[in-house]
Amino acid sequence: MYVTDTHAFLWYLSEDKRLSKKALEAFEKCDNEEDLMAIPSIVLIEALFLCEDRRVGTKFEEILSRIQMSSNYQVYPLDERVVVECMNVKLEDPHDRIIVVTAKLLDA
């Protein structure tokens, strides 16, 4: 199982060359139903804001559609376990904390 951050996810969907080879391979595994990709709910919120600000060339509805069409992409909620575990991760950016904690909780 993998956990994605916002930029990697958006770069993959838009075929952006900034996506690393390793990240590309992880997304391709998920597309080929060889593995699962967890998408922390905070990633969707960030993607929504980026789409609304037109800082990415993708429509948010297209992102949601892509997730809904694949059983290998699963949205992980921001729940109490994530919030409590965030106390143990010392990163400045709260979004990154949530993504890291999600990966830890899923052992990804």
**What's the pLDDT tens digit per position in 65-94?**
989 988 899 999 999 999 999 999 999 999
Distance CA 91, CA 86 (A): 9
What is the tens place of the pLDDT at every residue in 24-42? 999 999 999 999 999 999 9
Query: Does residue 32 belong to any structural domain of this protein?
Result: yes
Query: Does residue 68 belong to any structural domain of this protein?
Result: yes
Query: Does residue 85 belong to any structural domain of this protein?
Result: no
Query: Does residue 89 belong to any structural domain of this protein?
Result: no
Domain count along the chain:
1
Query: Does residue 27 belong to any structural domain of this protein?
Result: yes
Number of Cβ atoms within 10 Å of the Cβ of 49:
13
The tokens describing 102, both together, are 């999600």
Angle among Cα 99, 50, 103 to the nearest 5 degrees reads 10
Domain that holds residue 19: 2-77
Query: Does residue 83 belong to any structural domain of this protein?
Result: no
Query: Does residue 102 belong to any structural domain of this protein?
Result: no
Query: Does residue 98 belong to any structural domain of this protein?
Result: no
Flag whether the pTM goes above 0.75. Answer: yes
Percent of the chain past pLDDT 70, that is, above it, reads: 100
